Amino acid sequence: MVSVEFLGPIQMEKKEFNVQSVRELKDELYKIPELEDWLESLAVAVNDKIITSLDTPLKDGDKVVLLPPVCGG
């Protein structure tokens, strides 16, 4: 299982998914209506490293963090 944490204004508890890649995780996340507006703009970190490829493999015990865009001045 892969644990997923949602940061910032995404008000969701940590969830676990049985997936093998970030692409599979994204497909699962699209099934959650509350995330639909966020998914296209999120940055994704796997084990504290920002990734850019949906083909990034995931294995049991990996920690994924979803980072929404932020505004600042």
d(C-alpha 30, C-alpha 17), whole Å? 13
CA 63 to chain centre: 9
Domains defined for the chain, CATH in brackets? 2-67 (3.10.20.30)
For 13-50, what is each residue's pLDDT tens digit?
999 999 999 999 999 999 999 888 888 888 999 999 99
Rounded to two decimals, what is the model's pTM?
0.88
Please tell me the predicted confidence (pLDDT) of residue 24: 97
Which residues, at least 6 apart from 63, have a Cβ–Cβ distance to it below 8 Å? Answer: 2, 3, 5, 46, 47, 48
d(C-alpha 11, C-alpha 18), whole Å? 22
For 45-67, what is each residue's pLDDT tens digit?
999 999 999 999 999 999 999 99
Please tell me the predicted confidence (pLDDT) of residue 19: 98
